[in-house]
A and B are shown apart, each in its own frame.
Chain A
Amino acid sequence: AAFGLYFPRKEYSENVYIDQPAGTPLLRIHALRDSHGEVAHFHLCQNLIISRARSHENHWFQIREKTGLLYLSKSLDREDFSMLSVGNWMPLSKVMLYVFLSSHPFQENECDSATRTTVFLSLINATAPACSSLTARQLCFTEMDLSFHIKENKPPGTFHQLQLPSIHHLCQNLSISYKLLAAEGMPFRYNENTTGVSVTQRLDREERERYELIAKCTVREGFREMQVEVPFLVNVLDEDDSPPFLPNGTDTADAVVEFNRKEGTVLATLTVYDADTTPIYPLESSRKKYTGTIITDDPWISETFRVEHIFDEIHFSPNGSQVRGTQHEYKLVLNKSISVTEHRFFQLDVLVNDTEFHGPKRSVMLHFNVSILPVSIQFPNMTYQFTVNRNAERFAQIGKICIENCMKFRGVNITYKLLAPNISCYPVSILQGREDKYGSLYVNDSSVLRRPECKEIQYTIQATDKQSRKHTKTLLTIVLEGTLLKKEEDCPDSCAVSKHHAECEECGGLGVLTGRCQWRQGSGKGITTNYSTCTPSIKTCPDGICDVIESRDLAVCPQDCTSGNIIGGHGKGAGNLGIKSGHGICYCFPRQNCYCEKDDIKEQLCDDVCKTVI
């Protein structure tokens, strides 16, 4: 077996005083074994670490190789103290020593064994205190918590000595005795003669991972008696000794590919449990320990799918006490976008392997029933018909064009195109945003609307799937209606410029549908998304989205699209575009500033609720 001796704690501490005589014992270090028959050898590396970068040769401290007793081999005088204090920034000087552990006697200068523990020695700039001046707490325990870790599945052994060797040496006339409380039924034993605490049996972390005991100390001096109790904690360290298992035996899941065909789509998830813990860092190494591999010879399958593994800590309660375990999730993910024509059914197997577990059943097989359905590129049965008012202005939004299920599509790129109409009337065009799944119809040439010979115009719309080049067509009819209104003079070309209800509805502007701007009356108090404003169409502006038509000309809907200054109380929209919320009435001069202000200045002052917002 591999070398498996280990320290049950990472750090030890003790105080060292000026002129303590050589031979003074300081503290006792223990080691636990990995297998029977191992013998621990302790060793000090011959330098003291004073501060992070500074070290000094160790002339004062030694350790008994067999027993782990650290003692003073030479007393520290005042000059030693001042020398060791150089470079110490803390108010209290501390030096650090590494103690190494080996299963064989140490060779000269061997101080790079992997197993080591740290001893912190606080250098107290005074001679050793009189026993009578020490509190019971100081006589009984060090400042460090009594907290230990023991590996599961390892042989029993002694891992701590409650008696402090330095105090025992210093205060021989005091009677100091210990007890371990709350230990009934627990796998620990206290030996009164040696004050040693040992673990009596192999521990199993999956059964219990934390033991909380109490160490009680009684100090007797003549007729006086003092007692101190401190927590005594044992954490059980985990090793990979449990195989993976399936919750409720579920090893199969359906994975359907239909409208969502985009790379990165999660199709299905299967869960595997493990009673062992899995550290989430370093993440990559934990992922490597628990693998999920697609079992296939088909290169198309291995190119098109991948398995993503995430894991999370969960809690089990095997017998009342909670222990941590791991939930592994294996997600079947599309590795590339799938063409709309693809049509297949098959079973995809994923082998999950707990690589560090050495027993049987270290792996489980997961099954995904994959169905890839083709989707058709077609318009709904009807033909499109839109009515457009003859007074509509350029960039007026007429309607949306969308193939069947187009809003459900992901990873399918459909482009819409208008094919030339039969006559010379071309008032409308189609536009499509970069991410849009639909096409937006808008007035491109408003002068055509005014021509009497243009009444009903027929277009053909074509939708094409970019990847498969599949396309479909339908008819679109535009009916022009309404009588021409006389244009008001002195009207701005943008509705957003109007600040008042009346002037707004008197004028038209870019994007209006019926020749007149529309007024949106806000109702909210303070800064609200429902601010008052003048817009070409309440349906599309402001709606918080600077759509593809609005972005063609800033004068259409600066409320959604402005990137300039907004003066007055306001909140900006996503990507710093537009006015998401405003105070009172918001109006804009396109390509210049926007203003949000209250018409009547009868606002109440900022109250307490208002003040808590930065």
Chain B
Amino acid sequence: LAGPPSPAGQDPHGWRVDCVRANELCAAEPSCSSRYRTLRQCLAGRDRNTMLANKECQVALEVLQESPLYDCRCKRGMKKELQCLQIYWSIHLGLTEGEEFYEASPYEPVTSRLSDIFRLASIFSGMDPATNSKSNHCLDAAKACNLNDNCKRLRSGYISTCSKEISASEHCSRRKCHKALRQFFDRVPSEYTYRLLFCSCKDQACAERRRQTIVPSCSYEDKEKPNCLDLRNTCRTDHLCRSRLADFHTNCQATFQSLTSCPGDNYQACLGSYAGLIGFDMTPNYIDASTTSITISPWCSCKGSGNMEEECEKFLRDFTENPCLRKTLPHPLSSPCPIPTGVHPPHKYLLPPGNAIQAFGNGTDVNLSP
């Protein structure tokens, strides 16, 4: 039997090439480039049924399955990221016509483990009076950022942009604020940004500071709360937002098939995808300054969902009640509810239930690889 399709699109290390490079490879090959042009025209109509019915479009799709374009991916913060994503979606868009609840991430998987960040975080904690019970981790994170020129510059950049009043009626420029936030999270190393975003808190002043990290009055809150499915549609019309949301779903989607309920027990990937959503329409944040229960949500509700209420709530729950993101898994021994089990033996529930934000905040090393 034939093995996997020809690895034309893979580099020597086994990874696919990025879509910008794949596009160049395709352009150098007349048959590929003409098929690619055809497919793009097919998808421009955006009607999946017409596209499937068209013989020429189908042939183009089949030919491109063998080209490097088909498996290409993009990297977060790469040069020409937007161009890369445009190429990715120009092929993938329309194949399922936005009917899919979860879309696959166009980004390469994050392979590094969270333990790397904890190692870096511990360097900082050496400077803090960490043993002091009154210590405010979020304040420490802000201090650490201020001691690093790059972090300080980009942080004060987004804070001043996001708190700059435009006029009496316009509280701030949301567009510019989002852009400055994206720059901060793209260009500052995650050992600084995650510490600010996911610091653990014992009191309300600390939790309020954590909630204020992204200047929510400008970047997050709005006059009205849109419907979550409407917000998702808006996000999906933008290549970057769509990609970041798909990345979040890929890396933070709770699963029963891992110890921590995060896909592949990869906290780092989930935290990264979460931070990657900040500065887009789907910007998530802590909904309040509670220290005991961490609830995260984008600025939307399921009011007015009509017959789609179930789907809307499912979408929202991936933020508000996501066991991978936060501690919601009930304890197995005392739980009145049944614990859904996956393919792993049930003893996994005797381990502390995991979640990315709290694990990070606690400074726990969660290298759970077998």
A contact residues around B105 at 8 Å (CB): 89
| Closest chain A CB from B243 CB (angstroms) | 12
B contact residues around A311 at 8 Å (CB): 304
Q: Does A280 contact B (CB under 8 A)?
A: yes
* CB < 8 Å neighbour of B229 from A228, A230, A281: A281
| Closest chain A residue to B205, Cβ basis | A612
* CB < 8 Å neighbour of B4 from A83, A90, A91, A230: A83
Question: Given A238-B307, A312-B304, is A143 in contact with B256 using a C-beta cutoff of 8 Å?
Answer: yes
* CB < 8 Å neighbour of B70 from A11, A53, A237: A53
Q: Number of contact residues on B: which range applies?
A: 35 or more
| Closest chain A CB from B162 CB (angstroms) | 10
- Whether the Cβ atoms of A137 and B341 lie closer than 8 Å is yes
B contact residues around A149 at 8 Å (CB): 307, 310
- Whether the Cβ atoms of A611 and B139 lie closer than 8 Å is yes
- Whether the Cβ atoms of A575 and B109 lie closer than 8 Å is no
A124 to B343, CA, bound (A): 9
List which B61-103 residues lie within 8 A (CB) of chain A.
65, 70-71, 91-92, 95-96, 100-101, 103
Chain B, residues 259-274, CB within 8 Å of chain A (1/0): the string is: 0000110000000000
- Whether the Cβ atoms of B168 and A575 lie closer than 8 Å is yes
List which B289-314 residues lie within 8 A (CB) of chain A.
303-311
* CB < 8 Å neighbour of A230 from B91, B100, B338: B338
- Whether the Cβ atoms of A52 and B95 lie closer than 8 Å is yes
- Whether the Cβ atoms of B307 and A614 lie closer than 8 Å is no
Question: Given A15-B343, A228-B338, A235-B309, is A54 in contact with B65 using a C-beta cutoff of 8 Å?
Answer: yes
A contact residues around B4 at 8 Å (CB): 82-83, 86
| Closest chain A CB from B38 CB (angstroms) | 16
A112 to B263, CA, bound (A): 33
- Whether the Cβ atoms of B227 and A281 lie closer than 8 Å is yes
Chain A, residues 597-612, CB within 8 Å of chain B (1/0): the string is: 0000000000011011
| Closest chain B CB from A591 CB (angstroms) | 22
Q: Does A456 contact B (CB under 8 A)?
A: no
Q: Does B340 contact A (CB under 8 A)?
A: yes
- Whether the Cβ atoms of A279 and B92 lie closer than 8 Å is no
- Whether the Cβ atoms of A137 and B338 lie closer than 8 Å is yes
B contact residues around A138 at 8 Å (CB): 341
Q: Does A147 contact B (CB under 8 A)?
A: yes
Chain B, residues 213-236, CB within 8 Å of chain A (1/0): the string is: 001000000000011011001000
List which A223-239 residues lie within 8 A (CB) of chain B.
228-230, 235, 237-238
Question: Given A313-B303, A614-B215, is A235 in contact with B49 using a C-beta cutoff of 8 Å?
Answer: no
- Whether the Cβ atoms of B168 and A574 lie closer than 8 Å is yes
- Whether the Cβ atoms of B341 and A279 lie closer than 8 Å is no
- Whether the Cβ atoms of A54 and B306 lie closer than 8 Å is no
Question: Given A53-B95, A612-B205, is A86 in contact with B5 using a C-beta cutoff of 8 Å?
Answer: yes
* CB < 8 Å neighbour of B342 from A10, A79, A143, A611: A143
| Closest chain A residue to B96, Cβ basis | A52
List which B40-54 residues lie within 8 A (CB) of chain A.
49, 52-53
B contact residues around A89 at 8 Å (CB): 104-105, 109, 250
A contact residues around B321 at 8 Å (CB): none
List which A243-301 residues lie within 8 A (CB) of chain B.
277-281, 283
List which A27-66 residues lie within 8 A (CB) of chain B.
51-54
List which A340-360 residues lie within 8 A (CB) of chain B.
none
A280 to B346, CA, bound (A): 43
* CB < 8 Å neighbour of A229 from B233, B263, B311, B338: B338
- Whether the Cβ atoms of B159 and A614 lie closer than 8 Å is yes
Q: Does B133 contact A (CB under 8 A)?
A: no
Q: Does A576 contact B (CB under 8 A)?
A: yes
Question: Given A143-B342, A147-B310, A278-B306, is A611 in contact with B164 using a C-beta cutoff of 8 Å?
Answer: no
- Whether the Cβ atoms of A614 and B212 lie closer than 8 Å is yes
- Whether the Cβ atoms of A611 and B165 lie closer than 8 Å is no
A86 to B4, CA, bound (A): 7
List which B311-370 residues lie within 8 A (CB) of chain A.
311, 338-343, 346
Q: Number of contact residues on A: which range applies?
A: 35 or more
A contact residues around B263 at 8 Å (CB): 90-91
A315 to B256, CA, bound (A): 36
Chain A, residues 567-608, CB within 8 Å of chain B (1/0): the string is: 000001111100000000000000000000000000000001
* CB < 8 Å neighbour of A235 from B91, B250, B310: B310
A612 to B53, CA, bound (A): 60
Q: Does B244 contact A (CB under 8 A)?
A: no
A137 to B250, CA, bound (A): 26
* CB < 8 Å neighbour of B230 from A280, A573, A608, A614: A280
| Closest chain B CB from A286 CB (angstroms) | 8
B contact residues around A141 at 8 Å (CB): 340
- Whether the Cβ atoms of B342 and A53 lie closer than 8 Å is no
Q: Does B115 contact A (CB under 8 A)?
A: no
- Whether the Cβ atoms of A576 and B165 lie closer than 8 Å is yes
A contact residues around B209 at 8 Å (CB): 611-612, 614
- Whether the Cβ atoms of A83 and B1 lie closer than 8 Å is yes
| Closest chain B CB from A464 CB (angstroms) | 28
Q: Does B12 contact A (CB under 8 A)?
A: no
- Whether the Cβ atoms of B340 and A143 lie closer than 8 Å is yes
| Closest chain A residue to B167, Cβ basis | A575
A11 to B338, CA, bound (A): 21
A contact residues around B307 at 8 Å (CB): 149, 237-238, 277, 279
- Whether the Cβ atoms of B340 and A137 lie closer than 8 Å is yes
| Closest chain A residue to B5, Cβ basis | A86
Q: Does B257 contact A (CB under 8 A)?
A: yes
| Closest chain A CB from B17 CB (angstroms) | 15
| Closest chain B CB from A59 CB (angstroms) | 11
Q: Does A4 contact B (CB under 8 A)?
A: no
| Closest chain B residue to A573, Cβ basis | B165
| Closest chain A CB from B193 CB (angstroms) | 15
* CB < 8 Å neighbour of B304 from A91, A129, A279, A614: A279
A572 to B215, CA, bound (A): 17
- Whether the Cβ atoms of B3 and A612 lie closer than 8 Å is no
- Whether the Cβ atoms of A575 and B346 lie closer than 8 Å is no
| Closest chain A CB from B170 CB (angstroms) | 9
| Closest chain A residue to B206, Cβ basis | A612
| Closest chain B CB from A480 CB (angstroms) | 37
- Whether the Cβ atoms of B306 and A277 lie closer than 8 Å is yes
| Closest chain A residue to B138, Cβ basis | A612
- Whether the Cβ atoms of A279 and B305 lie closer than 8 Å is yes
Question: Given A90-B263, A611-B205, is A52 in contact with B1 using a C-beta cutoff of 8 Å?
Answer: no
A539 to B264, CA, bound (A): 67
- Whether the Cβ atoms of A87 and B71 lie closer than 8 Å is yes
| Closest chain B residue to A142, Cβ basis | B340
A76 to B109, CA, bound (A): 28
A238 to B309, CA, bound (A): 11
| Closest chain B CB from A110 CB (angstroms) | 12
- Whether the Cβ atoms of A572 and B165 lie closer than 8 Å is yes
Q: Does A92 contact B (CB under 8 A)?
A: yes
A197 to B3, CA, bound (A): 44
- Whether the Cβ atoms of B308 and A279 lie closer than 8 Å is yes
A-B contact pairs, 24 of them (CB 8 A): A15-B343, A52-B92, A52-B100, A52-B103, A53-B70, A54-B71, A83-B2, A89-B109, A90-B250, A90-B263, A91-B258, A112-B49, A135-B341, A135-B346, A147-B310, A229-B338, A230-B338, A238-B307, A279-B308, A283-B230, A575-B165, A611-B205, A612-B205, A614-B215
Task: List 16 extra interface pairs beyond A83-B4, A112-B52, CB under 8 A.
Answer: A52-B95, A52-B100, A91-B258, A91-B264, A124-B343, A137-B338, A137-B339, A138-B341, A235-B309, A281-B230, A281-B304, A313-B303, A572-B165, A608-B205, A614-B163, A614-B209
The 9 closest A-B pairs by CB, nearest first: A279-B306, A280-B304, A281-B230, A86-B4, A91-B264, A52-B104, A277-B306, A574-B168, A575-B167
